[in-house]
Amino acid sequence: MKGEISLTRLEASSPSRTLFRVELEVARALMEALANAAVSSPFFQINPSNGSRLPLKARTLRCFRKDENGTSSFTEPSQMELEVHNTDTIQESIVSTIGGLETNHDDIWKLFNDAQRNILHLNKQRLMALGELSKTQREKQLLLDRIEHLEAQNQSVVKVKTDNQSVCCELLLRMDSMVLSGLIGTEEASDLRRMVMENKVSLGDAFCNIQQKGDTELLTELRHFSDKSKRIGFHIVHICTEMAPIVSVGSLASYVTGISCALQRKGNLVEVILPKYSSLDLEEVQGFRKVEAEVRSYFGGRWHGNRIWTGVIYGIGVTFIEPLYHSSFFNRDKIYGYSDDFERFTYFSRASLDYLVKSGKQPDVLHIHNWETAIIGPLFWDIFVNQGLGSTRILFTCHGFNSQCLEKPDTLALCGLDPSRLHRPDRLQDNIKTHLVNILKGGIVYSNKVVVASSIHSKDRIIRNLSHGLESTLAIHKEKLLVSPYGFDDTIWDPSKDKFLPAKYSADDMKGKSVCKIALKQRLGFSGDTSSVIVGCIYSQVSDVDLENLKAAVLLAMRKGAQFVFMGASKTPSVNAELESFQEELKDENVRFVNKYNEGVAHLVLAGSDIILCQSFHDPVQQVPLKAIKYGAAPVAITLNDYTLRHSENHDFGSTNVSLYLLSTFANMSLSQALDQIKNDPTRWNLKIKDAMLKDFSWDAECHDIHSEAYASIKNL
């Protein structure tokens, strides 16, 4: 009916459910007010003639509205349909009451008018918000599409580079197989290798599906491959006992992989030769294959056969040597720590050189590591230099002088060396126990360059204090001694592209670090806002002394209002028990222990922390101080020792850029000083952190440059 107001129809015809609810609540409030007014009003009138009570005559309810010209008027009579019990009775009461309250119609109209204006305003705001939301969603989608496009382009470039590297390594390894099987001679193999090593050739396009092709077919393609360019890099062959992620015990594994990838990214050809440990089931590893021909190696007065395995890891060509007769040498539970370690690794070293000669390889540099392959130095110059390796030179890397391997001189004869020629003070004779030979010393004496890996120690300090009895030897060979810092893989450890972080950031845009800090606090259940300082500690080993220092550091941080997070697990059960006891003792809401190492959590701890407490700045395995700097967290030593303070003020000769920066910027700063500076001088602190983040401490930086210069210098000898 015209003019009727039906709440049911109003709900059905409303364009917005939210708007309808607002209108409905206003209508209900109005009806409730009118009903209350009706109840309080009399439903009878007094007959003036006799004083009797007469029923009040119902009056017509008219809705007061404005027409299109803004003029107020009454509409036709309207009937309110209320879906309640006794609807007619209530309606009559309301109509009578309103009739009696016509004098108050201005108040009623004002209520309607205010409600209408509020509804219109809310609706307008809602439409504006929807428009802004739609615009934001469109912009977000455009950004996501752009990011996806850029990531696809980046992955495409990385894939092409990786494919070219893998194809190059696979071709070179297949050439080894061709030589060992007699398909081609060593001279032709050498020419083909030089051709493949040209950097300007697109190998990925020229050679595909290599693993599905036989040696004969592949050789035909190689012989027709005539697109050559000038070679600019070196051919480097590492002979070592570890390589991440295949077999990793200490710092050597990450070093070999890190520097190899960095060198190959800069245009060099890098290969690695490793023992075939029984724990490595290469038949299950995609891309690895056995070379059908055997390589014979001299050991213990006779020649023994070896099986060869080849494959590609991280774009690096890797060769495994598996002894057939001395199969027990590398069929052990551990890599090191046996009474026959000298025999085991000497056999491997000799077999590696025999393999190089048999396959016709002529690398520019043989890169050997620690005492385990140091015997290659005297083996090379006394036996192999005249077997087609006349242009090859030796670089020896030492990751510490505390493990040297002292043996009786006669044991040198096992691999074909002459003990009488080598058991001399200027060669392998040990400086202290002169009746023995020192295998590590042989690596120093018989190498063209010696690189000591350290991110904090200078050449002078290494010679004077860390040589473990080899000070006189190192002093004699000081000119060929170099110090190189360790690096870290910035394709994994970089907050601007870290896949583990909820938000990425860099020195130029630090907003993401605040997001990471909030995410870390939420994950650990920390309370408070982002202004509270978070101190992180990522550890793998904790000594008893470190444990006491850690406890003192936690209590200090708590007193200064900081929040503390431990992450990691010691290999010493007693230390873990102590930490768990300390955790139980504290039971503080601002301290958290993560008792198991987790890769994703480690990234978040670095990104969300303001300070990273380090056991030592000399951290060759995890490189926590360098990673902390990259993630905008200040590395702070647990304790300050006399050497750290002295070294930071008076640098020794032969320090690396990494060590100079670390020691001058952070090594002389205690945890208490760091916390105070964050609180009292945040502007200065933020500038220091941003400046640190701009430094490049990856494998591609100073570490690569030192090795590249070393290769160039010995190649010209």
**Residues 335-341, mean pLDDT to the nearest whole number:** 95
Residue 647 has pLDDT above 60, yes or no: no
Extract the tokens encoding 500: 């583990």
Q: Where does 511-697 sit in CATH, by number? A: 3.40.50.2000
Give pLDDT tens digits for 397-422: 999 999 999 999 999 999 999 999 99
Higher pLDDT, 573 or 47: 573
CA neighbor of 42 nearest in space, from 52, 29, 55, 33: 55
Helix (H, G, I), strand (E, B) or coil at 260: helix
Task: Give tens-digit pLDDT for 582-595.
Answer: 777 777 778 888 87
Q: Is the pLDDT of residue 39 over 60?
A: no
Q: What is the pLDDT of residue 169?
A: 82
The pLDDT of residue 156 is: 45
Residue 194: pLDDT band with limits 50, 70, 90: confident
Count CB atoms within 10 A of the CB of residue 517.
23
Count CB neighbours of 257 within 10 A: 23
Query: For residue 588, what are the contacts with CB-CB under 8 A and spacing of at least 6?
Result: 558
The 3 state secondary structure assigned to 108-125 is HHHHHHHHHHHHHHHHHH
C-alpha to C-alpha distance for 235 and 578, rounded to whole angstroms: 50
Model pLDDT, residue 342:
97
Summarised one tens digit per residue, pLDDT across range 422-454 is 999 999 999 999 999 999 999 999 999 999 999
Say which range, 325-329, 615-619, 648-652, has the weakest mean pLDDT: 648-652
Partners of 612 in the β-ladder: 536, 635
Report the DSSP pairing between strands 72-74 and 64-66: antiparallel
Tokens representing residue 505 in the block: 């950031």
- Compute the distance between CA of residue 448 and CA of residue 369 in angstroms, rounded to an integer: 13
The architecture of the domain spanning 236-487 is 3-Layer(aba) Sandwich (3.40)
Distance CA 237, CA 561 (A): 53
Closest CA to 305 of 341, 347, 343: 347
> Does residue 245 have a cis bond before it (omega within 30 degrees)?
yes
SS3 (DSSP) at 635: strand
Residue 149 CA to residue 155 CA, distance in Å, equals 10
Does residue 43 surpass a pLDDT of 90?
A: no
Q: Do domains 236-487 and 511-697 have the same CATH topology?
A: yes
Name the residue with higher pLDDT: 33 or 291.
291
**Reported confidence tier of residue 695, pLDDT bands at 50, 70, 90:** very high
- Dig out the tokens for 636 from the structure: 């702070």
Going by C-alpha positions, the residue among 262, 242, 367 that lies closest to residue 698 is: 262
Six-digit token pair at 679? 């609180």
Assign 642 a pLDDT band (cuts: 50, 70, 90): very low
Query: Which pLDDT belongs to residue 351?
Result: 97
Provide the pLDDT for residue 289. Answer: 76
Find residue 289's DSSP bridge partners: 310
Instruction: Name every residue whose Cβ is closer than 8 Å to that of residue 567 and which is 6 or more positions away in sequence.
Output: 536, 537, 538, 539, 594, 597, 598, 601, 602, 605
- Check: CB of residue 609 under 8 Å from CB of residue 520: yes
The pLDDT score that the predictor gives to residue 72 is: 45
The answer to whether residues 467 and 452 touch, using CB atoms and an 8 Å cutoff, is no
Q: What is the mean pLDDT of the chain?
A: 80
The domain locations on the chain are: 5-100, 236-487, 511-697
More confident residue, 272 or 525: 272
Q: What is the pLDDT of residues 471-490, one digit of tens each?
A: 999 999 999 999 999 999 99
pLDDT at 375: 98
Residue of 466, 458, 488, 517 lying closest to 646 (CA atoms): 458
**Residue 708 pLDDT greater than 90, yes or no:** yes
Over 60: is that where the pLDDT of 645 sits? Answer: no
How far, in Å, CA of 224 to CA of 217, rounded?
Answer: 11
* Residue pLDDT, tens place only, 540-576: 776 666 777 888 888 888 888 899 898 876 666 766 7
| Across 279-289, average pLDDT | 74
Question: Is residue 223 within 8 Å of residue 189, measured between CB atoms?
Answer: no
Task: List, as own/partner pairs, every contact residues 570-577 make where C-beta atoms lie below 8 angstroms and the sequence separation is at least 24, other chains included.
Answer: 570/539, 570/540, 570/541, 570/542, 571/540, 571/541, 572/541, 572/542, 575/541, 575/542, 575/543, 575/544, 575/547
* Between 491 and 71, residue with greater pLDDT: 491
Nearest-angstrom CA–CA distance, 417 and 281: 33
Nearest CA to 177 among 359, 388, 363? 359
Digit-coded pLDDT (tens) for 89-114:
545 554 555 555 455 667 777 777 88
15 pLDDT tier (thresholds 50, 70, 90): very low
Higher pLDDT, 446 or 310: 446
pLDDT of residue 704 exceeding 90, the answer is yes
pTM above 0.85, yes or no: no
Report the range of poorest mean pLDDT among 192-196, 390-394, 668-672.
Answer: 192-196
Report DSSP state, residue 507. T
The answer to whether the CB of 404 falls within 8 A of the CB of 470 is yes
Q: What crossing angle do the helices spanning 671-680 and 544-559 adopt, rounded to 10°?
A: 20
Rounded distance between C-alpha atoms, residue 626 and residue 658, angstroms: 9
Distance, CA of 510 to CA of 496 (rounded, Å): 10
- pLDDT score for 7: 35
- Please check whether residue 325 is in contact with residue 331, taking contact to mean a CB–CB distance below 8 angstroms: no
